[in-house]
Amino acid sequence: MTYYVVFMQLSKAMVTDMRALVFDPFAGASGDMTLAALLDLGLSETWLREFIAGLGLGEIGVRIERVMRKGISCAHIQFDLPHEHAHRHLRHVVEIIEKSAAPAAAKARAIDAFRRIAIAEAAVHGTTVEKVHFHEVGALDAILDILCTMAAVDEMGFERFYTRPVALGSGWIEIAHGRFPVPAPATLRILEGVPTTGLELDGECTTPTGAALIATLTDGAQPPADLTIRASGFGAGSRDPQDRPNCLRLIAADVALGEASEGGQPLLLIQADIDDMPPEYLAAALDRVIAAGALDAVLVPILMKKGRPAHRLEALVEGDARTSVSDAIFHATSTIGVRFWPVARQVLERTEEVRTWQGQSIRWKAVTLPDGTSRAKPEYEDVAKAAAALGRTPFEVRQALDGHATNS
């Protein structure tokens, strides 16, 4: 019997930092405040103007200025828009986003944000997502706020998102549906699961658009204790109340994924829940995800709200493969959003050998357990090839190999 040791590799863990964006909505958040804060944080004005001009949404003027909010110098942004009727349904907003020239990832996040708004509005008004009328939120400036923000965070290289408690405000506000309490019912729905504060503040502090941006990007995740602060930026709201600086602070930071224990690897887990795709196409999607650089990928049947059957796709990736794997998920499935977070993996020492059996070359993978013992198994692809060559079934060959390995 001939053995060929092909390779032996034990991966060493390395400390990896990811660029994080922390929302600090101490006075609330809106779409224009978020985009202005990104400008103050270093987003290129030239990039933003060129991005908007390339969206194919008509002639849009962009006014960026510096303003003061109770002693804090902030960026402030306004759009000069063509006259339009803003009473749109979700499908109209989705069509505008999909037809734009924005990157695929930005489109997916923007659609996810508007879907959250639609779900909240439908629940509040007792209707369906398809029948919800977008009023203020369906206006072109709201679409620009969300779409530009989603593209900007990608342009600036942010990979992780966190939020401190979101100020809500109190009182009453006039909207298309009439006089409503603050916080608006839809805003509260969107922020379910997100930490909040500021109920003593007068006026609407956080708009549905601002809430949707925070909920979509952070999913309510609070910042870890080991952030390394790199920069901060302030985006001003249009109002200038006397009791507080009406601005949103965004913080750019590095977050360490951590150094795993000996034999571990800092990795990311990417996850998507899919409930509107024929299951026979999911196997091909899994192959596409593996080909895009995932170390491993699985599909798990799940049950979503209202009893809807669905599948959860999970992919284990190294940090530099996050974008390619996420793009593969967006292209190969019907999902409009993915979640990801750092995980640690401990791996056993592994070797691969090629053994000759009945004239067939078959690779065996062996691992060494912590107590020093080992176990091995043949690669299925090689077992299947050997079975075809010998006129036997793969299961028969596997049984014969197991007996041969025991006897040898």
Instruction: Report which of 361, 393, 363, 394 is spatially closest to residue 376, judged by C-alpha positions.
Output: 363
Q: Is the pLDDT of residue 247 over 60?
A: yes
Q: Is the pLDDT of residue 62 over 90?
A: yes
Is the separation of the CB atoms in 35 and 213 below 8 Å?
Answer: no
The reported pLDDT for the residue numbered 406 is 54
Q: Is the pLDDT of residue 146 over 70?
A: yes
Q: State the Cα–Cα distance between residues 362 and 212, nearest whole angstrom.
A: 53
Q: State the Cα–Cα distance between residues 387 and 11, nearest whole angstrom.
A: 33
List alpha helices for 42-139, DSSP H: 45-53, 90-99, 104-125
Q: What is the mean pLDDT of residues 230-242?
A: 95
pLDDT digits (tens, 9 = 90+) for 159-184: 889 999 999 999 987 766 668 888 98
Match 């309490």 to its residue by tokens: 181
Q: Is the pLDDT of residue 13 over 50?
A: no
Q: Is the pLDDT of residue 218 over 50?
A: yes
Inter-axis angle of helices 140-155 and 90-99, to 10 degrees? 50
The reported pLDDT for the residue numbered 166 is 97
Q: Is the pLDDT of residue 31 over 90?
A: yes
Q: Is the pLDDT of residue 123 over 90?
A: no
Q: What is the mean pLDDT of residues 218-237?
A: 90
Judge if pTM exceeds 0.85. no
The reported pLDDT for the residue numbered 262 is 39
Q: What is the mean pLDDT of residues 379-402?
A: 90
Give the total residue count for the chain.
Answer: 408
Q: Residue 346: helix, strand or coil by DSSP?
A: strand
* DSSP notation for 366-407: EEE-TTS-EEEEE-HHHHHHHHHHHT--HHHHHHHHHHHHHH
Q: Is the pLDDT of residue 212 over 90?
A: yes
The reported pLDDT for the residue numbered 1 is 32
Q: What is the mean pLDDT of residues 377-383?
A: 89
The reported pLDDT for the residue numbered 77 is 97
